[in-house]
Amino acid sequence: AIIAQLRQAFDGGEPVGVLAHHLVHDESAWLFLERLFTVTAQTEACAWLPIRTLIGRGAGKGK
C-alpha cells in the first residue's frame, strides 16, 4: 500500500516528506536514511528544505 501511495505522489508531482523520529529508529532505519539523503542530495529532482523555509511558507495563512 505504501508503495502505491508513493508512486501516486511522485507521478502527481506532490511533495513527499520523511518522518524521521529518532526514538523509534533502529540501526537499519538510520542506515537507510543516511543512504537516502546521500543519493537524493546528488540530484536536482529532489530538494531537502530546512524547517525554517517550510515554516516561512505557512506564515500568515489562516489570518
**Tens of pLDDT, residues 33-46:** 899 889 999 998 88
Number of domains composing the chain: 1
What is the domain range of residue 9?
2-58
Query: Quick check: is 27 in a domain?
Result: yes
Q: Rounded to two decimals, what is the model's pTM?
A: 0.53
C-beta of residue 43 within 8 angstroms of C-beta of residue 28 = no
Query: pLDDT band at 63, cuts 50/70/90?
Result: very low
Query: Quick check: is 13 in a domain?
Result: yes
Residues 41 and 32: their CA atoms lie apart, in Å, by 14
Query: Quick check: is 22 in a domain?
Result: yes
Query: Quick check: is 63 in a domain?
Result: no
Query: Quick check: is 36 in a domain?
Result: yes
